[in-house]
Amino acid sequence: MGAPVEPSVELPGPALLFCPGDRPDRYDKAAGRADAVILDLEDSVAPEDKERARAEVVGALGRLDPARTVVRVNAPGTEWWDGDVAAVAAAGVRLVMLPKAQSPEDVAALAPAGVIALCETAAGVLAAPQIAAAPSCLALSWGGEDLMADLGGASSRGADGAYRDVVRHARSAVLLAAAAHRRPAVDTVHLDIGDLDGLAAASVDAAESGFAAKMCIHPDHAAVIRSSFAPAPADAAWARGVLAAARDEPSGVFRYEGRMIDAPVLAQAESIVRRACG
């Protein structure tokens, strides 16, 4: 697909909604409900339907907004990888999601598309810094269920519903690798479709931890993610007040509403305002 280049595209927003590639009747609805639709050729498509799904996706690309359409290809090493790579290249897809990314070479194979690399195996998590450094890497993400499958585990969550330590470690490692290379990080999906409160809590945590977006598997999840990624009005007002006060302060450290404000706190306030404006 050509030499790797810095991607010229950006993440379109915080809510990225998966849609099975073999369900073209759902493409437009999914695109209308979320900031971006992820047309999936991987996990949601049965092996016998892979070729048809690829053809359906390629055929629909002309009517979908290329800046808000992501194609998740099948993983490197599978029998569908070469065909998927050729298809997205021929169609000029601008945003590609790479499952089970394990090396910069996996990302480079999809250039010049901007690649959202899923670090969802042990090798992928350990290689996250190198993957993030690949020129055509647009963002990093992760996946707890695929990671546990790779580890030979039983479930990503314990009996209390919380992520297991190794899963929390992987999530943090991917977030840190993305930030170190100035790439946005995308949080994984919330699998309990009806648990909107849990989704909201997970989304708030993702946003406040530094994730730029979150993937989802149901149209009803998109609005929850959008709302959760926007800061609370009181927090946005505080952040704007801090930034306004900073403009009138000659020193690098000052007091605002009883709290010491310095460079790291100013950076956090700027992040809150960006989220409020997004």
Which residue(s) pair with 203 in the sheet? none
Beta-carbon contacts of 54 under 8 Å, excluding residues fewer than 6 positions away, are 21, 41, 80, 83, 84, 87
Measured distance CA(46)–CA(22) in Å, rounded = 9
Beta-carbon contacts of 68 under 8 Å, excluding residues fewer than 6 positions away, are 12, 31, 35, 36, 37
Measured distance CA(148)–CA(166) in Å, rounded = 9
Measured distance CA(139)–CA(161) in Å, rounded = 28
Helices (H), the chain: 27-33, 50-60, 81-91, 104-108, 122-126, 128-133, 144-151, 165-180, 196-209, 219-229, 233-247, 263-277
6 among annotated binding-site residues: no
240 among annotated binding-site residues: no
Buried b (16+ CB within 10 A) or exposed e, 219-239: bebbebbbebbbbeeebbebb
What is the SS3 assignment for 225?
A: helix
72 among annotated binding-site residues: yes
CB contact at 8 A, 97 and 119:
no
| Sequence ranges of the binding site for substrate | 72, 120
| Sequence ranges of the binding site | 72, 120, 146
| Sequence ranges of the binding site for Mg(2+) | 120, 146
